[in-house]
């Protein structure tokens, strides 16, 4: 039941010891951080499939800037969590759930990126910052970003 809640970035954290809003905020941020890497991978895999026709571990390693064994281990986790399927020595496929997550990530990424550029940031820095920011933007903030990016 792990990754369904990836989607609701601003979901109420059930854990948080009652009372301290700050603790809840930090716990929420930590929860988001735990999912960032999975989101990055899924987004990249979707992109590779779209651009190259398939997602091969070697390309994932290159794009992510990590080594092949790191990719292998991470892919195992993603498979375990139901986001991808894979067979030995074969390229990687997204599950239905993985595709949904990828789509949502791409959507968020696009909005954050367009927002930053609209703000006046150069495209390169915008791309870099969007990569970091996109995982920490609530639905509400995303809506404001979209409105700003689309304003005439």
Partner DNA sequence: GCCAAAAGTTAGACAAGGCTAACAATCTGC
Partner DNA sequence: GCAGATTGTTAGCCTTGTCTAACTTTTGGC
Binding site for a second copy (CB under 8 A): 10, 15-17, 20-29, 32-33, 36, 40, 62-65, 116, 119-122, 124-129, 131-133, 135-138, 140-141, 144-145, 148
Q: Is 86 in the site for DNA (CB under 7 A)?
A: yes
Tell me which stretch binds DNA (CB under 7 A): 74-82, 108-116, 132-140, 142-150.
74-82
- DSSP summary character for residue 81: T
Q: How many residues bind DNA (CB under 7 A)?
A: 28
Write out the two tokens for 123: 């495209």
Q: Give CA separation, 65 vs 10, 68, 70, 106, 117, in Å.
A: 29, 10, 10, 20, 25
Q: Which residue, 8 or 50, has its beta carbon nearer to DNA?
A: 8
Short-list 106, 105, 129, 132, CA closest to 119: 129
Tell me which stretch binds DNA (CB under 7 A): 61-69, 111-119, 120-128, 129-137.
61-69
Write out the two tokens for 87: 């067979």
Q: Is 25 in the site for DNA (CB under 7 A)?
A: no
Q: Give CA separation, 32 vs 5, 7, 35, 80, 123, in Å.
A: 10, 10, 5, 19, 25
Write out the two tokens for 88: 């030995």
Q: Is 3 in the site for DNA (CB under 7 A)?
A: no
Q: Is 89 in the site for DNA (CB under 7 A)?
A: yes
Beta bridge partners of 94: 84
Provide the minimum distance between the beta carbon of 150 and a second copy in the complex, in angstroms, as a whole number. 14
Binding interface with DNA (CB under 7 A): 7, 9-10, 30, 34, 36-38, 56-58, 61, 65-70, 72-75, 77, 86, 88-91
């Amino acid at each position: 039941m792990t990754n369904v809640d990836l989607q609701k970035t601003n979901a109420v954290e059930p854990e948080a010891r009652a009372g301290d809003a700050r603790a809840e905020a930090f716990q929420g941020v930590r929860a988001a951080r735990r999912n960032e890497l999975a989101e990055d991978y899924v987004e990249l895999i979707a992109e590779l499939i779209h651009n190259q026709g398939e997602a091969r571990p070697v390309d994932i390693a290159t794009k992510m800037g990590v080594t092949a064994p790191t990719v292998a281990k991470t892919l195992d986790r993603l498979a375990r969590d139901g986001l991808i399927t894979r067979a030995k020595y074969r390229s990687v496929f997204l599950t239905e759930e993985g595709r949904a997550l990828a789509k949502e990530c791409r959507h968020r990424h696009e909005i954050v990126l367009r927002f930053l550029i609209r703000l006046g940031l150069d495209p390169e820095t915008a791309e870099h910052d969007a990569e970091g920011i996109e995982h920490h933007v609530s639905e509400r903030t995303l809506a404001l970003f979209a409105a700003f990016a689309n304003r005439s």
